[in-house]
Copies of this chain bind each other. A is one copy, B any other.
């Protein structure tokens, strides 16, 4: 098996290209892909507990906290105490944040639509099944 035929080589290559494309779009708004992903994970109406964002995105708490500071300085989010439990901090999008979330969402949807339009439903189903199976195999290895 040559490197070019492996699953991991091809996944890495494709994922790197997607990342580059998203970073390119995000850079037009002085952001990056990772900041845009956080914005997409904040509930537009209710806000989201700061402790929930890490698990949602599979990111470390320290790295999330740095990103939230940056988003706050950019005027995209606000930190507020949760009204039900004052000890907890909820992240809310500002008006600017809501605008930016809309742009991020459109970018993601446009990209996905432009790919999906090339394939049948069955083909996409197989694609996602293989990704899920890879996840399951890796989870079984318990690493």
Contact with B along A102-143 (1 / 0, CB 8 A): 000000110110111011000110111111111101110101
Contact of A123 among B12, B114, B126, B139 (CB under 8 A): B126
A15/B6 in contact, CB under 8 A: no
In the complex, A53→B41 CA distance in Å? 37
The secondary-structure label for the interface of chain A is: helix
A70 partner residues in chain B, CB cutoff 8 A: none
B126/A126 in contact, CB under 8 A: yes
- The interface on chain A, measured as residues whose beta carbon lies within 8 A of the other chain's beta carbons, has a size of 47
In the complex, A141→B114 CA distance in Å? 11
Copies in the complex: 2
- A115-B133, A123-B126, A127-B130 as given contacts; A12 in contact with B10, CB under 8 Å: no
Q: Which of A22, A115, A123 gathers the greatest number of chain B CB atoms within 10 Å?
A: A115
Contact of A130 among B13, B21, B123, B132 (CB under 8 A): B123
Q: Is A17 an interface residue (CB 8 A)?
A: yes
A40 partner residues in chain B, CB cutoff 8 A: 3
